[in-house]
Amino acid sequence: MAKRVLLLTTGGTIASRPGAQGLAPELGPAALLSYVPELGERFEIDCRAVLNLDSSNIQPEEWRIIANAVYEGLPGYDGIVVTHGTDTMAYTSSMLSFMLLNLTKPVVLTGSQLPIDEPLTDARINLHTAFSAVEAGIPGVSVAFDRKIIRGCRAVKVSTMGFDAFASVNAPCLAEVFADGLRLMSPSAAGSGETVLRDELCTDVFLLKLIPSTRPELFDQFLSMNYRGVVIEAFGAGGLHFIRRDLLSKLQQLEDAGIAVVTCSQCLFERSDFSLYEVGKLALERGVIEARDMTTEAAVTKLMWALGQCDTVEGVRRIFATNYAGEITL
């Protein structure tokens, strides 16, 4: 029996056409499907436009819209495919991984580097890959791109022009397409219990990438602007400078003010470990929360989501010590 699939579209390059100001989303879901009529012969497909935006304009408010559309559609379908622009797809896929807990069905995001009506587009193969993930019954949120299925909270955009735009960071791909079909590469355990929508979040979160001259006074702005959480991309395995420009004392001020500070590494691969060096241990003493091997996108969205679930630093700490969707190795 053919799998029933709901296609939700949100805009992005895959649906774009040239305009006076450059590429902009234009095509609706029916138009997208007209470029891949063979999918309709293999699957029972319903489609709906949720948004029509360049993904640079997809923000927390839109994440909630997408999550609710997915949640409402889950009971009637074997899986859901969401088309999305590539620029913020990793943020959306990470946030959906937290908002939609205990998923037992596939929710697959995909898009393209070229519009679907371009002769050399990657859109058609990416759509086929996404639908194959539904056919294979790979549960949870994932990203289908360049013949790979990547866990949603491990996907990172690493190329602006190449068709291999996304990497699976600190985790193997869930599946890959070869000449003999889709091969499962890593288990993706289905959620246990009832799928739950938890879409409460807090947008008062800032991401700071350190450079060797970051000024401590910058941290005062987090207090004056009423931020509730900060993600700091620190150096290497985990370090912040405290000579001449003392960032450590500012971390203590944030902790005392009830602002959750999550730290991760600027390095794309492998985990942070703030216990290795003095500069990291001193930061841990100031109460920072380690993101370990999480991607920056997952750390930012998980912090937003955590602050929507609780209002204390200790509550956030407990959430970051929990693996919800394969986003962290504990």
Q: Which of 9, 10, 83, 86 is catalytic?
A: 86
Cβ count near 298 (within 10 Å):
31
Contact yes or no for 295/170 (Cβ under 8 A)? yes
Q: Is 87 annotated as a binding residue?
A: yes
Q: Is 86 annotated as a binding residue?
A: yes
Give the integer Cα–Cα distance in Å for 46 and 29: 9
Secondary structure (3-state) at 42:
helix
Q: Is 46 annotated as a binding residue?
A: no
Instruction: Categorise residue 16: left if φ over 0, alpha if ψ from -120 to 50, beta otherwise.
Output: beta
Q: Which of 13, 83, 121, 295 is catalytic?
A: 13
Q: List the beta bridge partners of residue 17.
A: 24
Contact yes or no for 201/63 (Cβ under 8 A)? yes
Note if 13 is an active site residue.
Answer: yes
Comparing CA positions, the residue from 72, 59, 86 lying closest to residue 8 is 72
Cβ neighbours for 99, distance < 8 A, ≥ 6 positions apart? 63, 64, 67, 197, 198, 199, 201, 305
Which residues are known catalytic residues? 13, 86
Residue ranges of the annotated binding site are 55, 86-87
Residue ranges of the annotated binding site for substrate are 55, 86-87
